[in-house]
Structure formats: structure tokens, C-alpha cells
Homo-oligomer: A and B are copies of this chain.
Amino acid sequence: MMSKKIPFYQADAPVVILVRPQMAENIGMVARAMMNCTLSELRLVRPRESQLCDKAVAASSGAQTILENAKVYDTLDEALADVRFALATTARPRDMTKPVYHPEAAMKLCQEHLGRGEKVAILFGAERTGLENEELIPADGIIEIPLNPKHCSLNLSQAVLLIGYSWFRLTRDWDNTHLATGGSMPATKQELNAFLEHLENELDERGYFYLPAKRERMQRNLRNIFTRAGLTGAEIKTLHGVVIDLTRPISQK
């Protein structure tokens, strides 16, 4: 599982730069997606609507601090002034020579540059038009989000979310699987075997294993079923109770 020590946001993370965003709601949703992924620094180049208007704040769904701390610039060059490494997102291949990275590789590269103390930024274009060719020029590379080529249009905040998720995914260590046991440990083999013997004894007394030639196989099948279930100690206790009650005549109830 994730470490519990994840901070509210990361200081050494890429800056998100939105170039000419059109809709306040999208700016808000970008802030929300950023906070989902522990990104915190937002810069806006000539936004049509303010990042602090009601629509933006409502759409940010609790990520208002990112909007409050966002800086607004007149030009992309100004927004990039202190940035040493910038990647631009675009779905469309352009007629220019730039290295193109998928999000995972792009975020690894950003991490390397951040590790050398560089300011790193990721550029996102306007909702409909994306980044213009001249806006791609200052970028050191392109991030292409691989999606269905017949339907690859993404909402601005969804593009930020996918990039942010790749970032978060890269910067966190976690096990890929863990068993949620509600606090209960997995049963010991001894506990499991005690239950299986309980079950088999009750079945045996009722003639379940009446064909000696098949006994071993039937037993193995049963044991496989309950072994595969990955039972906890608490569940073993539940099953003991089930067998006890099943073997009780109805009249006694």
C-alpha cells in the first residue's frame, strides 16, 4: 500500500502551465486533477476567464488553494522564464523535430531534471485548438498520450489527470496487490486444516466418502476449494459454525 506520509503536495514536482484556457470550469477541474496527483503549481497564460471565479472554484472541488496560488502571465515566454526543462502535450504529431515521449517516459525525464534542481513545466494548450506550433518551440520535447487514434480527444482536465497520474504513479512506491483483510490475519495452515478435518469428519460420518476409491480425490477437491479461498482466521471460525449448524437436526432448533 501507499506510504501514509504523502504530503499535501510535492515541492519538487512539475509546474502545470495552461496556455490560453477558455473555460473557468476547466481550470477548476485541472486544479482538482492536480491535487489528486499531488501537483500544486499552476500557471496560466492569458486565460479567458479568471481562475478565481465561482465556476472555477466550484469545479475545483476542494482544490481552491491551487487556484489561489496560480500565477497569470501575458506570454508563454514569461511563464517559462525560470523553467529549465519543458514538455508540451499534444495529441497530434507536428511537422517539427522534437523527441516525443509517452507519459511514463516523460515523467521519468521530468524527475531526472527535477533531481538536478531544475524547474520543470508541462504545457497544455487551449481546449479546442491545443498548442500552436510556435508554442511548441520552447518545449524540449512532446508528450503524446497514447489513446484510441480514432477517438483521442480528451477534455483538458482529463489530459492533466493522465499526465498527473503518471507522475504520481512514478513517484510512489507501492505493492501492486495487497489483501484487505479488515484487520484479520490470513488463517494459519493449522487453522485451515482443523476446519477441513472438522468438515471431513462430519461428512464421513454421513457417508459422503462412500466410495473408497474416490475418497482421496474427493478430499483433495474439497481441500483445494477452501485453500484457494484464502480464508482469514475469522472466516475459519465462521465456517466451523456453519458446519456445526448444518449438522444439527432441524428439530433441535
Residues of A near any B CB (own CB < 8 A): 2, 4, 6, 8-9, 29, 32-33, 35-38, 61-63, 93-102, 104-105, 142, 146-155, 157-158, 161-162, 165, 168-169, 172, 174, 176-184, 230-232, 235
B176 touches A101 (CB 8 A): yes
Chain B minimum-CB-distance residue to A59: B155
- From A104, which residue of chain B is reached at the shortest CB distance? B176
Q: Chain B's nearest CB lies how many Å from the CB of A35?
A: 4
Kindly provide the distance from the CB of A210 to the nearest chain B CB, expressed in whole angstroms: 33
Contact A178 B36 (CB under 8 A): no
Instruction: Assess whether B158 is in contact with A172, with CB atoms less than 8 Å apart.
Output: no
Given A102-B174, A162-B165, A174-B102, check contact A148 B38 (CB 8 Å).
yes
Q: Is the CB of A179 within 8 A of B6?
A: no
Q: Are A35 and B180 in contact, with the CB atoms below 8 A?
A: no
Given contacts A176-B105, A180-B93, contact A147 B100 (CB under 8 A): no
Most B-side CB within 10 Å, residue of A100, A148, A230: A148
